[in-house]
A and B are shown apart, each in its own frame.
Chain A
Amino acid sequence: MENNLVLRVVGKLLIPFILLFALYVQFHGDFGPGGGFQAGVIFATGIVFYALIFGLERARQAVPDRLVETMLASGVLIYAGVGVAGMLLGGNYLDYFVLDKNPVIGQHRGIFWVEVGVATTVSGVMLKIFYMFASRSVAGNAHEDPED
């Protein structure tokens, strides 16, 4: 698929917007539809799209495995960390009201970081699963792409 001019051009045009849309869904999730899970999936989809058009190796250069695995774990840690932060500030676990002097702003802050955690883990997991499957098939076919 790497030599298909239309795909390459359209992909190059679209991928920045897909990633931008993921960020929009992430940070606009308080006001419109969306949130961490959807944003994470859309972000991962953008990278998967890139990998489909330009090849797995280049995608792995852009978003290396080590980063993906770090994302996988750090998302849960961010989420749990928000809970611990609430405890340290004198509330219950995952109590956002204490995160700021103004309880409403505290809630916003808590939701924001929680959504960041969800998005990080989800996109990390999606990318990791895709990488794993894709690299397996490449290995199974003796390092050759049969469709090319």
Chain B
Amino acid sequence: MVLIVLALIRTRNLFGVIVLSGAYSFLMATVLVALDAVDVAMTEAAVGAGVSTVLLLGALRLCKSEEAKPAHRPWLPLAVAVSTGLLLAYGAMDLPDFADPQAPIHQHVVPRYMENEVDVPNVVTAVLASFRGYDTLGETTVVFTAGAGIIALLRRRKSGRGADGK
């Protein structure tokens, strides 16, 4: 994955970037499988490696395939990114160990989830759809809003194609 990220930074050909980010998503999916988060891994493989790659390729057909030279030096954004990363790493040091049964998150509501009054074998589904139904309703609405926004934006462009510039 580190190799892919380095290649992503170095590559200026956008087609290569898209293919590499698809490969990165697939590797990320395998990492998630290794962390026992199979549901998330499936989503990552299907959305990150599948649909978004296709969408980016579709967008690539609309623009040039070479990345333009950056307009200014990258030092300030780089400094912000590095310091944020260091802060996150510092914060992550205080987190409990991975899969530690004594971690606070496993002491709070998880016992009730695991008791499983819903009687659905996949606890992830039970939590998403039942215990946190409101969250999932909100997420579905967000997805719906994204689709509606796409329709609103691109439809208008199509009707006024004379000013499109392409």
Contact = CB atoms under 8 A, between A and B. Distances in A.
Contact of A72 (B41, B51, B125, B144): B144
A119 to B, nearest CB: 10
Given A134-B58, A136-B157, A140-B164, A128 B150 contact: yes
Given A80-B137, A125-B144, A137-B62, A44 B129 contact: no
Contacts, number: 147
Interface of B: 38-39, 41-43, 46-47, 50-51, 54-55, 58-59, 61-62, 117-122, 124-126, 128-130, 133-134, 136-137, 139-141, 143-144, 146-148, 150-151, 154, 157-158, 161, 164, 166
A132 interface: yes
A85 B25 CA distance: 39
A130 B121 CA distance: 34
Contacts of B144: 72-73, 75-76, 121, 125
Contact of A45 (B50, B136, B154): B50
Which DSSP category, helix, strand, loop or mixed, fits chain A's interface? helix
Contacts of B148: 72
Nearest to B144: A76
Nearest to A78: B140
Interface of A: 25, 29-38, 41-42, 44-45, 48, 52, 69, 72-73, 75-76, 79-80, 83, 94, 96, 103-104, 107-108, 110-111, 114-115, 117-118, 121-122, 124-126, 128-130, 132-134, 136-137, 139-141, 146
User: 7 shortest A-B CB distances, which residue pairs?
Assistant: A125-B147, A33-B38, A133-B58, A94-B133, A137-B61, A111-B129, A41-B46
B18 to A, nearest CB: 13
Given A44-B51, A111-B118, A121-B144, A34 B42 contact: yes
Contacts of A72: 144, 147-148
Contacts of A130: 51, 54-55, 58
B39 A33 contact: yes
Contacts of A38: 39, 42-43, 46
Contacts of A133: 55, 58-59, 154
